[in-house]
Amino acid sequence: MLSCKHYDILELCCIYNLAIKVQLSTGKLIQGVAINLVNNANNEECIRLQLNAGLNRVTQDIELARIYSIEALVKNPHFDYVSFVDS
């Protein structure tokens, strides 16, 4: 379960359409612009990123439970880096 603090950070990312780098618990990195929090077909909470794929703009939904960390790719007053690992 995601903490309120982490959920709030993800909401800020979407509100301000921040460019972020998401590291998954598998180590995979995904970069994109946060556009919305959604539920996928399995009713899992996800963050939807808009990816720049050349001339095409595609989106990818990332399950919140799989996020290890996020890093802001643009300077903003909210955060630079957030770890989602329980400490």
Domain that holds residue 55: 4-74
Entry pTM? 0.90
Q: What is the pLDDT of residue 52?
A: 80
**Is 84 a member of any domain?**
no
- On whether residue 29 sits in a domain, the answer given is yes
* pLDDT at residue 44, as a whole number: 95
Question: Quick check: 80 and 71 in contact, CB under 8 A?
Answer: yes
Domain assignment present for residue 68? The answer is: yes
How confident is the model at residue 39, as a pLDDT? 97
Tokens standing for 30? 């995904």
In a domain, 13, yes or no: yes
Domain count, the chain: 1
pLDDT score recorded for residue 55: 73
CATH code for position 67:
2.30.30.100
Question: Each residue of 13-51: pLDDT tens digit?
Answer: 999 999 999 999 999 999 999 999 999 999 999 999 999
Residue 27 vs residues 18, 24, 42, 54, 70: alpha-carbon distances, Å: 21, 5, 23, 24, 12
Q: What's the CA gap between 82 and 16, in Å, rounded? A: 17
The answer to whether residue 25 is domain-embedded is: yes
- The chain-wide mean pLDDT, for the chain, equals 93
